[in-house]
Amino acid sequence: MYVLGLWDGHDCGAAIVKDDKILVAVNEERFTKNKLEIGFPTQSVEFCLKSLEIKANDIMHVAINTSDVAKTLTRIFPAVKQHYYQFRRRKSKPAFVNLKREFKYKVTELPPNLITKQISKTYFRSQLQKLGFLKFKLHLVDHHMAHAAAAAFTSGFDEAVIITLDGVGDGLSGSVNVLQNNQLKKISDIPATSSLGIFYEQATNLLGMRELEDEGKVMALSDYSYKVPDKKNPLMKIFKVNGITIDTDLSSWQRYKLLEKVVWKAQNEDFAYMVQKVLEVKALELFKNAIKKTGMKNVAWAGGVASNIKNSMNVRKETGLKDWYVFPHMGDGGLALGSALYTNYLLTGTSKYDFKSIYLGPGYSDKEIKKVLDRNKKWLNFKKVTDIAKITAEHLANDKIVMWFQGRMEYGPRALGNRSILASASSKAVKDKLNVHLKKRDWFQPFCPSLLAEDAPKLFSDYDKPDPFMTMGYKARPEMVENIIAVLNVDNSARPQVLTDENPLYIKMLKYVQELTGFGIVLNTSFNIHGDPIVTSPEDAISAMKRGGANYMAIGNYWATLK
C-alpha cells in the first residue's frame, strides 16, 4: 500500500512510502530551479510516480499537512503566496512593509479550524484530480506531528523523546513527544506566539538577510563576536522556558521592535551572537526538562531550528543525553515525507524505517549522461574511465576542484556525496578559489567536510558516532587543525558528514584520498552556482560547470573537462 505525502508551502515537495520503506522523496525546486519553491508540487508528484513506474490510481492514500489560516489563505489566493515569496527572498519590497509584517505575524499564528481544514482538503482534491488521482483517501496531518513523525520513525530508536522547533505551523512553534512501545504521543505544545524560530527569522531579516534561508549565515556570523555575557544580553529575558513549553510576554511584533532597537546599537556580529545565545540557552533548558520529565535519554529532533548546528552541538554536549538524532530534512521541505510517515503509522502501525540512504531523488544512467555530454561536445572533452573514484581523488590531492555527479540525488538541503563540489580539506587557497569563482559565499560562512568514520576520532576531539547526514557539529583536535583548515569554522568546529557504508562509490573515493594524503577527508559543498538550487540532471550539471568555469567533473563513469 503506497502512501503519497505532499507539502505545498515553503520548499514544497512529494514523497512515497510503502510498508516499512521510504521509496522516493524530492522537492520541487529541483525541477523548477526556483530555490525553496512554493506551491502545489506537480513535478515532484509526477517524478515520484514515474520513478516507481506506477500510476496515480495505484495510490489509495494521500497525506497532506498544515491547514492553519495563513496556509489556507495561500491556497485560495495563490498570488499571496507568490508575493510573499518575492518579499521574503528580498526580490521586491512592498509598500507598508511594517504594517504587513505586523499583520503577517498575527495571521500566521492563527491555528486551523473546521473551515480551513475543509478548504485545504478541497484544494488538494482538486489539484490531485488534475493529475489523474480519482480514487484515494485524503489524510490531513498536523504540521508539528509531521515534523515529529519524520524524526521519530527514521531515528532508529525504540524509545526516545522527540522535540520539534520551528517558525510556525498549525498554531504552534514546537512540540515535545514521546516514542515508546511503537507509539508516538505528543506531551506538550509550544505556542506560535513564543516561537524561537520566528525570533531567529526576525533577526535574520534585521541583518539584511533572507528569512527562512539565511539563518545559517547569522549563526556563522555569531562566531566572530565578542562574547557578550548573558546578563548583558537584552534579549535573554524575552522567552521563559516553563517545564516543557516556552512562554513570552511579548507579541511577535513587539519582539521585532525590540530586536530592531538592539540591532541599531550593536555590531552585526554581536547582535548575531546575542540572538544565537538566546536560542542555545532556551533550547537547552527545554531539552533538559524534556529528558528529565520523560526519563528518556535518546533524543531526536526536527523542525527548522534543528538546522542550527551550533544549537544541536550544544544540546548534544550539555543535556546529558545518551544518543541523539537530527532528521536531515529538518525544515518544512521534509514535511511531505513526515506526513506520509505519520499517515502510514496510523494505517499500518509502522514506526521504524531503515533510513540509511538519503539518496531518494532522480538518478541517471551512463547512457543518459553520455547523450547529454554528446550534445555539449563543443564545450567539453570527456572520456569513460574504469575508476572514476581514483581519478577524482588524484585531482583532489593535487589541489584541483572537482564537480561530482553520481547516483540518485540527495533529499534535503545538504549535498551528501552525489551532487557535490569537492576540494582538498587542507588547502585554504583552494577554498578561497572555490568561493570566489563558484560559490560566492559570504566570507564568514565555512565549508563542510565528508570523511571516513575511521578518521573521525583522529581529527575531532568530541567525536561520538558516524553521522552520514551532516547534522552535528564537532571540534577539531588542536594538532589536526592545519590538516583540515579549509573545512573548519573560525572556532575550529566543523559540521562533518561521517560515512561508514552508506555510499560505496563516495567511500571508495575517500579511501583513495586517504592513501594519497593520509586522511580520508574532502571539502564537500553542494553542486550549484551561488543562489541556484542544487543541480538535478546532467544538463543542470554541465550548465553549472560552464557558468562557474570549473575545469573537472566526474559525472557517472565519465571524466569531463572544459575545453
Question: For cell 493529475, what's the residue?
Answer: 131
> Are the C-beta atoms of 369 and 380 separated by less than 8 Å?
no
Q: How far apart are CA 396 and CA 402, in angstroms?
A: 7
Q: Give min distance, CB of 323 to Fe ion, in A.
A: 24
Shortest separation between residue 302's beta carbon and Fe ion, angstroms = 8
Q: Which is nearer to Fe ion, 13 or 417 (CB)?
A: 13
Nearer to Fe ion, 143 or 495 (CB): 143
Please say which residue, 28 or 332, places its beta carbon nearer to Fe ion. 332
Of 105-113, 161-169, 484-492, 549-557: span binding Fe ion (CB under 5 A): 161-169
Which 499-558 residues touch Fe ion, going by CB under 5 A?
A: none
Distance of closest approach, residue 167 Cβ to Fe ion, in angstroms: 6
Q: State in angstroms the smallest separation of the CB of 66 from Fe ion.
A: 8
Q: Is 275 helix (H, G, I), strand (E, B) or coil?
A: helix
166 touches Fe ion by CB under 5 A: yes
Comparing CB distances to Fe ion, the nearer of 68 and 269 is 68
* Closest CB to Fe ion among residues 167, 407: 167
Nearer to Fe ion, 8 or 166 (CB): 166
Residue number closest to Fe ion, CB atom: 166
* Length of the chain measured in residues: 563
What is the rounded CA–CA span in Å between residue 238 and residue 558? 55
The dihedral region occupied by 208, where left means phi > 0, alpha psi between -120 and 50, and beta the remainder, is: left
Q: How many residues bind Fe ion (CB under 5 A)?
A: 3
In whole angstroms, how close is the CB of 169 to Fe ion at the nearest point? 4
- Rg, C-alpha atoms of the chain: 23
Characterize the bridge pairing of strands 419-424 and 380-384.
unpaired
The residue assigned the cell 555527479 is: 405
Task: Identify which of residues 195 and 493 has a Cβ nearer to Fe ion in the complex.
Answer: 195
Question: Least separation, in Å, of the C-beta of 283 and Fe ion?
Answer: 16
If binding is defined by CB under 5 A, does position 270 make contact with Fe ion? Answer: no
Closer to Fe ion by CB, 146 or 401: give it. Answer: 146
What is the DSSP annotation of 67-101? --HHHHHHHH-HHHHHHHHHHHTTS---SSHHHHH
Residue 338 touching Fe ion (CB under 5 A): no
Three-class HEC string of 43-72: HHHHHHHHHHCCCHHHCCEEEEECCCHHHH
Q: Closer CB to Fe ion, residue 204 or residue 536?
A: 204
Grid cell of 489 as nine digits: 569554522
Which residue number, 201 or 455, has a Cβ lying nearer to Fe ion? 201
CB nearer Fe ion, residue 304 or residue 446: 304
Query: What's the min distance (Å) between Cβ of 93 and Fe ion?
Result: 26
What track of x and - describes contact with Fe ion for positions 312 through 331 (by CB under 5 A)?
--------------------
The C-alpha cell at 491 is 572556532
CB of 303 to Fe ion, least distance (A): 5
Q: Which residue's CB is nearer to Fe ion, number 68 or number 455? A: 68
Q: In this structure, what is the dihedral angle of CA atoms 164, 275, 112, 91, given to the nearest 10 degrees? A: -120
Contact (CB, 8 A) for 62 and 128: yes
Amino acid at residue number 507: I
Task: Give the nearest distance from C-beta 166 to Fe ion in angstroms.
Answer: 4
Segment interacting with Fe ion (CB under 5 A) among 165-173, 181-189, 286-294, 476-484: 165-173
Q: Which stretch binds Fe ion (CB under 5 A): 56-64, 90-98, 131-139, 166-174?
A: 166-174
State which amino acid sits at residue 4: L
In angstroms, the CA 260 to CA 244 distance is 29
* b/e map 489-508, b = 16+ CB within 10 Å: beebbbbbbbbeebbebbbe
Minimum CB distance to Fe ion, residue 346 (Å) = 20
Q: Which stretch binds Fe ion (CB under 5 A): 56-64, 164-172, 185-193, 532-540?
A: 164-172
Strand partners, 476: 460
> CA-to-CA distance for 416 and 452, rounded, in angstroms?
13
Site for Fe ion in 459-488 (CB under 5 A): none
Q: Which is nearer to Fe ion, 285 or 332 (CB)?
A: 332
Among residues 11, 201, 332, 540, which is the contact residue for Fe ion, using CB under 5 A?
332
**Smallest distance, Fe ion to C-beta of residue 391, A:** 42
Binding piece for Fe ion, criterion CB under 5 A, among 163-171, 290-298, 469-477, 539-547:
163-171
Give the pairing of strands 402-405 and 552-555: parallel
Q: How far is the CB of 239 from Fe ion (least distance, A)?
A: 18
- Give the relative orientation of helices 97-108 and 69-76 as an angle to the nearest 10 degrees: 110
Which of these segments, 160-168, 308-316, 373-381, 415-423, binds Fe ion (CB under 5 A)? 160-168
Strand ranges of the sheet holding 552-555, from the earlier edge strand across to the other edge: 380-384, 558-562, 552-555, 402-405, 419-424, 521-526, 448-452, 497-499
The interface mask with Fe ion, positions 167-186, x = CB under 5 A, is: --x-----------------
Q: Minimum CB separation from Fe ion for residue 477, in Å? A: 36
Q: Is 251 helix (H, G, I), strand (E, B) or coil?
A: coil
CB 312 within 8 A of CB 151: no
Residues 307, 433: Cα–Cα separation, whole Å: 27
Summarize as ranges the residues that interact with Fe ion (CB under 5 A).
Answer: 166, 169, 332
